[in-house]
Amino acid sequence: MAVRAVRGAVQLERDDAEHMQEQVGELLTAILERNGLLVDDLISVWFTATPDLHSDFPAAAARALGITDVPLLCAQELAVTGAMERVVRVLAHVETGLSKAGIAHVYLGAAGALRKDIAQ
């Protein structure tokens, strides 16, 4: 087993706690499924949100999925002029047998434009 990092992002349609929980939950589920991971494989998860999102913590979606014994951290993205709005990003550290090249980074919907080089 190796420690790997998995990236992901989703753009929300609106700043609403329920919508955030749904969309971030979908993102986390896709990250786990596409990489053949279990919750027990998670070491830690960092979430960032653009400055225009303040209805809830993205980590609340992880807790709602049952990810309760994994360290989670939320932070705010830099307010860069012209950056995509209403985006939640994820950086998950995991234990896996996958190689770096075998990791599936997950960018849902419009967030796929953020990292066309690694989005799968």
Catalytic annotation, pick one of 13, 77, 85, 95 = 77
Task: Indicate the helix (H) or strand (E) that contains 87.
Answer: strand 87-96
In the annotation, is 89 catalytic?
yes
Residue 4 is a catalytic residue: no
Q: Which of 13, 14, 33, 63 is catalytic?
A: 63
Does the annotation mark 74 as catalytic?
A: yes
Q: What does the alpha-carbon distance between residue 28 and residue 87 come to, in Å, rounded to a whole number?
A: 14
Say which of 22, 26, 34, 74 is annotated catalytic: 74
Respond yes or no: is residue 95 known to be catalytic.
Answer: no
Dihedral angle at the C-alpha atoms of 73, 24, 34, 67, nearest 10 degrees? Answer: 50
Reply yes or no on whether 63 is catalytic: yes
| Residues catalogued as catalytic | 7, 63, 74, 77, 89, 107, 115
